[in-house]
Amino acid sequence: MDTDKTKIQSLIDNHQGLKKNLIAILLDIQENFNYLSPESLRVVAKALDMPLIDIFGVATFYRAFSLTPRGKHMCLVCMGTACHVRGGPKILEEIERKLDVAPGENTKDGQFTLETVACLGCCAIGPVVVVDGEYHGHATIRKIGPILAKYQKPEAS
Amino acid sequence: MAGKKKLRIQDLAKIREKTKSLMTIREGEGRARVTVHMGTCGIAAGARDIMDALLDEISKAKVQDIIVTTSGCAGLCSAEPMATIELKNQPPVKYGDLTPEKIKKIFVQHILGGQMVTELVLAVGSETVY
Amino acid sequence: MITFRMNGLDVKAEEGWSVLETAKFYGLEIPTLCFNEGLTPHGGCRLCLVEIGEGLKTKLVSSCTYPAEEGLVVRTDSKRVWAARRMMIELMLAMAPGSKVLQDMASRFGVTQVRFTSRNKECVLCGLCVRMCAEQMDAKAIGFQKRGLNRKISTPFDMRSEECRLCGACMYICPVCQLRCQGPNAEGVLCNGCLTMDPSCLDHYDDLQCWMYDAGRCGTCVREKT
Amino acid sequence: MKHYRAHLLVCAGTGCVSCGSFKIKEALEKEIKKRKLQDEVQVVATGCNGFCERGPIVLVQPDGIFYQLLTVEDVPLLVEEHLLKGRPVKKLMYVPPDEKQPVPKMKDIEFFKHQRLIVLRNRGRIDPEKIEEYIAFDGYEAMGKALAEMTPETIIAEISASGLRGRGGAGFPTGRKWAACAKEKRTPKYLICNGDEGDPGAFMDRSVLEADPHAVLEGMVIGAKAIGAVKGFIYIRHEYPLALKRVEIAIAQARDNGLLGEDILGAGFNFDLEIVEGAGAFVSGEETALIASVEGKIAMPRQRPPFPAQKGLWGLPTVINNVETWATVPNIIRRGADWFQGLGTESSKGTKIFSLVGKINNTGLVEVPMGITLRDVVFGIGGGIPKGREFKAVQIGGPSGGCLPAKLLDLPIDYESLTAAGAMMGSGGMIVMDDKTCMVDIAKYFLNFLQDESCGKCVSCREGTQRMWEIVRDITEGKGKESDLPLLEELAQVCKDASLCGLGQTAGNPILSTLQYFRHEFEAHILDKRCPAGVCTKLIRYVVLSEKCTGCLSCKKACPTEAITGSLKEVHSIIQTKCIKCGACQEACRFEAIESQRDEAIQVI
């Protein structure tokens, strides 16, 4: 869409259209559109006068970027060492079972995207699950159901 | 904040002087510690007014390394409002039946001057805050 | 001129030469895979490793990217270098057993086992094609994507690239595509049909003692194939 | 600024914020207003206090009373009792494990008692979003001194004499790095602050950036003068939104006050800073990869030499130091190299920050002098292992480090001792493990992390970490062979030897150190097909201990696959064929009646 294109162009302009700000530009697009569409990458390539393949390389290298649209709710499970020794993997398994989804994927209904993260730096409250930016510390297998249910609720009209 | 005056090296010291005394409290240190007793009895007897007067004096005198705390009932309700003054390396001194005027005098003479206001003293060195 | 020592010899190098270039100039053979004279060095295949330094503080570096430095001490065929090289070949063979280049290399360096399950990706990610496309063909149609296990070489979105002119240079330079080894059968990934060299001297010395560098064709030091 | 009789210092580090400390702050402000104390009591949001286990935390000064694990409901009581009536609230204070009496004052708590705060000197003391508060505690004094009284040579001499070594992991002498860059003729020169803290289980840099951003800025200006740089970049990973925000505010304030930009402090020196946000790649922590990332490219390391000091950002001389290193610099300039020399050991000077996490009572961030023993940190400051369990190992140095066993607890913490023991200082992650941690599983965890984070350039690192991970994964699934262990050692060694950058060169450490100290656990998995710690799902079986089971039905309700039978007040049992080993029953049981049985071999089909 043209409006999207304008928006992307303004994000690029925010960073003076400089090649060195490619990562910052892509982070902004990711934040605004929830993913990096093929179209957006082409726009960036053109604006920065860079080969598409270079931009594609950067977009697939860093973890912060997603080339497919993400679900409505972002469910992040911390896989840091501290969370790991405190039972993080069991929490992740439970979420995988509950949502029927593997890390990095969206649920069939498009409600959730499940992602793992290497460390959030709040090891004291591990294992940690973050949904839509809200931290749920000291997670247990039994807490997962209620946590997810909070977001699964049909939109209150 | 834009267009603010740029600092020079000597300004840093000035800011430090000005703010440091306000901040010593964060380290739990100061030249004097004043404890205003604020049990139910103390408040009823007017401890709030004592506190207000004291804080007022402190800011007027621009000496800011004085720590003001509160405590509960000191067990001598008849002598409320009370306050305890502790100068560095000296035993605590307890004053009773205070009024805003009295605390002002204590502030000037004892806290700043280092001289006990003997006629108002209840006890010396008896108890600590905790 | 830079002077340094290589395998006990004093060698001279021009400013800007790499250790590999200097070795080539002196006729010392260092095996390479991801290196090609017309392209910028990549340092990915780790076959051209050499040992630098002296005493206890030595380390392995890729000679294609390491600059010739004054006073450097280099050994191109130490025990440690060979151990690493053999492992690189073994790891790469498990990725692309069809590559004749790799099978020959295995034979030459006496790699007689592949202890990993074959992935058979038909690509060792040496990046020759990527550099060929960008540097010689000036097309930039293909490139590296992702990282770690998922790293691959492809076009953007895995679709036919607008930049690609179907010149075929990428296939021409590929060490897996260009020649297929006819050797390996269904049982294993290793051919060893041309196994020639397993130098017995490395059992006794820290460095290879052979100056022929010709796949042991003289035959004197080669052990019986087991 | 105004004189308040009490300051409430609310910890606003990520740990406490995650537990709701901003809500506590709001509630405090509201309650204080309600009680008309707003002119007497100030509420301040500070950086991380360190004692993250006990968040949210409020420290009341000048009394020094430490309140912990607060909820919004506790606030009215706290305000009324402590601030109005002057009675500290016992029930909100910290009670050490195995004790009954609370410890009211922060300075008396074991966790804080043994620390030596230098880099973290302002933590929990100042509002990191107010430059005046940083200045009040001698902030920017060192910078003033460096700009007005020192030459680049004397600055470098001072840093060299102090013996400061890089806090990012490898421990390269900072003075030497600066001197090498200062020597370069080409300009412009650049500075980079490496805040891409990727080690899982480590959050030192995050905490410094959040609690005292100006210290990093000040250190960088001093460094800029030393090498003659005009521009600096602070690289912060995007997983740290709070750190990003605080540094952004700090830079803006410093610029407004003439502490950054042109003619700093009127001393005729120009230098400015820019934030670069990372996009999530562990390898970006490597200095050449970080440079590539700042340039907007894939974070792929390159061969050194040339070192960044010669050819760094855009091919120009660049000094890269870690956050902690930059934050240490002003302290050295202000207090002198001799003072810094006096701290620590012969070869490792000063203090180091560690994040103490895992199976430990006092999780948090600690700053200790170099040379302190592991035992003092784990048991003295950390308060030992929860539930009186047995200490098994401590993992130091993140994915590049190693696991050290109980017999090495008296090892002094310095660069050389750790490396000799097979671990590494790294950036300072310290993960404590108890007897319920499986070391094979830990090795698998790190290898999985590394194979995913490897940039993929070197065959040795990309394929090496992947193959090691596959082998260890098979071992945890009961498919291990005896020949696996020598192969793992060979691979780890080659990966160390042959890889280009620090990631690959240290990728063998976790496996080598676990093999060195915990070989018997690998052997139990391979030969006996059992997991002694009861962790590896494929090698354990959940069983109900009949003598402990009260028949309360909790586990039955928790089981997602209806694998548990038994009725009320009757010993339950688990149908193994239905069990998916999710562990829900074990978690649900309040009587520790469910064991992950590990003594007997599990046949893997």
CATH number at residue D270: 3.40.50.11540
Residue B112, pLDDT score: 83
CB distance from D140 to chain B under 8 Å? yes
**How many domains, chain D?**
5
Identify the closest residue of chain A to D558 by CA–CA distance. A142
Vertex D281: Cα angle to D275 and D353 (nearest 5):
70
For residue D604, name the pLDDT band (cuts at 50, 70, 90).
very low
Q: Does D518 share its domain with D582?
A: no
Domain boundaries, chain B: 28-124
CB distance from C142 to chain A under 8 Å? yes
Exposed, middle or buried, D283 (CB in 10 Å: 0-12/13-18/19+)?
buried
Identify the closest residue of chain D to B24 by CA–CA distance. D62
- The 3-state DSSP class for residue D465 equals helix
Average pLDDT over residues D459-480: 96
Q: Does A80 share its domain with A54?
A: no
Alpha helices in B24-123 (DSSP H): 40-45, 47-61, 100-106
The residues pairing with A131 across neighbouring beta strands, listed in sequence order, are A75, A134
What is the least distance, in Å, from the CA of C211 to any CA of chain D? 24
Neighbors of chain A by Cβ distance (3+ pairs < 8 Å):
C, D
CB D499 within 8 A of CB D460: yes
Backbone angles phi, psi at A107, to 5 degrees: -70, 160
User: Which of C152-161, D4-13, D485-494 reaches the highest mean pLDDT?
Assistant: D485-494
CB distance from D387 to chain B under 8 Å? no
Domain boundaries, chain C: 1-77, 128-173
Average pLDDT over residues A43-50: 95
Residue at D453 is within a domain: yes
Structural domain harbouring D148: 131-341
Contacts of B5 (CB under 8 A, 6+ apart): D258
- The 3-state DSSP class for residue D490 equals helix
Cβ contact, residue pair A86, D298, below 8 Å: no
Q: What is the pTM of this model?
A: 0.90
For residue C197, name the pLDDT band (cuts at 50, 70, 90).
low
Helix (H) or strand (E) holding C4: strand C2-6
Q: How far apart are CA C212 and CA C208, in angstroms?
A: 11
pLDDT at D522 over 60: yes
CA distances from residue A27 to A61, C195, D252, D277, D300 in whole angstroms, order as listed = 13, 52, 22, 9, 19
Q: How far apart are CA D331 and CA D335, in angstroms?
A: 6
Residue at A98 is within a domain: yes
- Pick among C87, C93, C101, C146 to test the D interface (most D CBs inside 10 A): C87
Convert A44-110 into a string of H (helix), E (strand) and C (coil): HHHHHCCCHHHHHHHHHHCCCCCCCCCCCEEEEEECCHHHHHCCHHHHHHHHHHHHCCCCCCECCCC
Residue at D122 is within a domain: no
Cβ contact, residue pair D6, B55, below 8 Å: no
**How many domains, chain A?**
2
Q: Does D183 share its domain with D327?
A: yes
Domain C1-77: give its CATH code. Answer: 3.10.20.740
pLDDT at D72 over 60: yes
- The 3-state DSSP class for residue D307 equals coil
Helix (H) or strand (E) holding D512: helix D509-527
Lowest-pLDDT range, C172-181, D144-153, D190-199? Answer: C172-181
Question: Is there contact between A and B if contact means ≥3 C-beta pairs under 8 Å?
Answer: no
Per 3-state DSSP, what percentage of chain C is helix, strand, and coil (rounded to 5)? 25, 15, 60
Name the residue with tokens 């203090």: D351
CB distance from C211 to chain A under 8 Å? no
Residue C145, pLDDT score: 93
CB D201 within 8 A of CB D431: yes
CB D209 within 8 A of CB D178: no
Q: Does A48 share its domain with A107?
A: no
For residue D30, name the pLDDT band (cuts at 50, 70, 90).
very high
Vertex D206: Cα angle to D205 and D210 (nearest 5):
115
pLDDT digits (tens, 9 = 90+) for B8-37: 888 888 888 877 777 777 777 677 888 888
Average pLDDT over residues C102-115: 88
Identify the closest residue of chain B to D62 by CA–CA distance. B28
Q: Does D25 share its domain with D98?
A: yes
Structural domain harbouring A84: 73-152
CATH number at residue D28: 3.40.30.10
The residues pairing with D165 across neighbouring beta strands, listed in sequence order, are D173
Structure token pair of residue D93:
């204070």
Contacts of D138 (CB under 8 A, 6+ apart): B16, D334
CATH number at residue A102: 3.40.30.10
Lowest-pLDDT range, B58-62, C47-51, D511-515? Answer: B58-62
What is the least distance, in Å, from the CA of D203 to any CA of chain A? 5
Residue D292, pLDDT score: 95
Average pLDDT over residues C7-31: 94
CB distance from A45 to chain D under 8 Å? no
Q: Output DSSP code: residue D477.
A: T
How many Cβ atoms are within 10 Å of A33's Cβ, its own excluded?
A: 18
Task: Write down which residue in D113, D145, D176 finishes a domain.
Answer: D113
Residue D275, pLDDT score: 96
Residue D98, pLDDT score: 78
* ipTM above threshold 0.95: no
For residue C206, name the pLDDT band (cuts at 50, 70, 90).
confident
| Chain D positions in Cβ-Cβ contact with residue C60 (cut-off 8 Å) | 497-498
Lowest-pLDDT range, B84-88, C11-15, C209-213, D245-249? Answer: C209-213
Size of interface B-D (CB pairs under 8 A): 119
For residue C215, name the pLDDT band (cuts at 50, 70, 90).
very low
Exposed, middle or buried, D590 (CB in 10 Å: 0-12/13-18/19+)?
exposed
The residues pairing with D284 across neighbouring beta strands, listed in sequence order, are none
- Reference B126, options B96, B93, B95, B98; nearest CA is B93
Cβ contact, residue pair B55, D40, below 8 Å: yes
What is the least distance, in Å, from the CA of D337 to any CA of chain A? 32
Residue at A68 is within a domain: no
Cβ contact, residue pair D137, B23, below 8 Å: yes
Q: How far apart are CA D215 and CA D204, in angstroms?
A: 14
- CATH label, C128-173, candidates 3.40.50.880, 1.20.1260.10, 2.40.50.100, 3.30.70.20: 3.30.70.20
pLDDT at D336 over 60: yes
Identify the residue with better confidence: B60 or D391. D391
CA D524 to chain centre: 32
Structure token pair of residue D471:
């082998």
For D87-102, give one letter per residue: b (16+ CB within 10 A) or e.
Answer: bbbeebbbeeeeeeeb
Contacts of A141 (CB under 8 A, 6+ apart): A90, A91, A94, D558, D582, D583, D584, D587
pLDDT digits (tens, 9 = 90+) for D551-586: 999 999 999 899 999 999 999 999 989 999 888 999
- Reference D566, options D584, D590, D550; nearest CA is D550
Contacts of C181 (CB under 8 A, 6+ apart): C97, C98, C99, C100, C102, C103, C104, C191
Backbone angles phi, psi at D458, to 5 degrees: -80, 135
Convert D435-464 into a string of H (helix), E (strand) and C (coil): CCCCHHHHHHHHHHHHHHHCCCCCHHHHHH
Domain B28-124: give its CATH code. Answer: 3.40.30.10
Cβ contact, residue pair C141, A61, below 8 Å: no
pLDDT digits (tens, 9 = 90+) for D393-435: 999 988 888 999 999 999 999 999 999 998 888 888 899 999 9
Structure token pair of residue A120:
């959030």
Cα dihedral D219, D223, D224, D228, rounded to 10, equals 170
Q: Does D449 share its domain with D576?
A: no
Q: Output DSSP code: residue C205.
A: S
Cα-atom radius of gyration of chain C, to the nearest Å?
19
